[in-house]
Amino acid sequence: MTGANSSLPAQRTPAMAKIFLALFLVIFGLNLLFGLNIPIWVTGVLALVAGILILMEYFRVTVAKK
């Protein structure tokens, strides 16, 4: 027997989104803990890129080479 949700595709976060999200969390955490002099726009850009990549995966947007 198969489960009730077996016909649904697995929701995966792309590897690049995970990398950007991990970088954001590490830099943000180090900035909070040690008061590093990292500009806020750096963490903002990392969060924005990770969010865009996650949304692209959610809506199944693909970028194909020409």
Query: How does pLDDT run across 5-64, given as a tens digit for each residue?
Result: 555 455 555 578 888 888 899 999 998 899 888 888 988 898 898 888 888 888 888 878
Which pLDDT belongs to residue 7?
A: 54
Give the per-residue pLDDT at 10: 53
The tally of domains found in the chain comes to 1
9 is a domain residue: no
How crowded is residue 41: how many other Cβ atoms within 10 Å of its Cβ? 9
Please give the residue range of the domain that contains residue 30.
15-58
Residue 8 lies in a domain: no
Is residue 66, in this structure, part of any structural domain at all? no
Residue 15, H or E segment: helix 15-34
**Would you call 53 exposed, middle or buried from its count of C-beta atoms within 10 A (0-12, 13-18, 19+)?**
buried
Cα angle 60-62-66, degrees, rounded to a multiple of 5: 165
The pLDDT of residue 8? 46
Residue 25 lies in a domain: yes
Place of tokens 């929701």: 11
- Cα 17 to chain centroid, rounded: 3
pLDDT at 3: 53
Residue 33: what pLDDT?
Answer: 92
64 domain residue, yes or no: no
